[in-house]
Amino acid sequence: MSMIPQIIRRRSGSGLGPAAVLALALLAPGALAQQAPPSMQDEIRQFCGNIADAARDQRYILQKQELEELQAGVDERIKRLDERSVQYRDWLQKREEFMRVAESQLVNIYKNMRPDAAAEQLEIVRPEIAAAIVMKLSPRLASAILNEMDSTKAAGLTGIIASAAAPDLPEDPS
């Protein structure tokens, strides 16, 4: 209603009395808006222009706060990932150490077995593991074990050992 006194002042020169303009404003508020003089439209534009910068600044502040909250969440997740990465590296180091010890112990076990017993055991184990064990044995013991194995399984292990020792060659296109 702060605009009504301004309208009353402007309309009073047009033949309408202040009471008539006030009654018109109270009974039909849209009537005055439709008949607003050009100077009032300029004032409305100026008002909107004046608050546009403040509204834009407020939007920027809200967006900045939202981005800061998101950044804090990302930073927290990165921190947790770093902690988990350190835990994983520790676990991996312990596992690798265990595997080195276990591998050397396993090789020693097969070194001390009779070739026929070792052959029976290596036929049951996954071929990649069996090939790795045979590779770490002395050539004399490895050949004795392979001699005791089923010929098909011994050939498979020999193929794995040979491919591990051979340099990577491109496949034959034929």
114-127 pLDDT tens trace = 999 999 999 998 89
Summarize the confidence of residues 45-58 as an average pLDDT.
Answer: 81
Torsion sign across C-alpha atoms 118, 122, 125, 131: positive
pLDDT at 57: 87
116: Cβ contacts below 8 Å, ≥ 6 apart: 148
pLDDT at 121 (0 to 100): 93
pLDDT in tens, 54-66: 888 899 999 999 9
Higher pLDDT pick, 161 / 98: 161
Q: What torsion, rounded to 10 degrees, do the Cα atoms 158, 164, 169, 174 define?
A: 30
Q: How far apart are CA 154 and CA 141, in angstroms?
A: 14
Average pLDDT on 30-57 reads: 73
**Mean pLDDT, to the nearest integer, of 158-169?**
77
Q: For residue range 60-97, what is the model confidence (pLDDT) as tens digits? A: 999 999 999 999 999 999 999 999 999 999 999 988 88
Q: Residue 134: how many CB atoms within 10 A of its CB?
A: 25
- Residue 111, pLDDT score: 92
CA Rg, the chain, in Å? 45
What DSSP designation does 4 have? Answer: H
What DSSP string describes 33-76?
Answer: HHT--HHHHHHHHHHHHHHHHHHHHHHHHHHHHHHHHHHHHHHH
Query: What is the C-alpha separation between 30 and 36, in angstroms, rounded?
Result: 10
Are the C-beta atoms of 114 and 103 separated by less than 8 Å?
A: no
Domain locations along the chain: 113-165
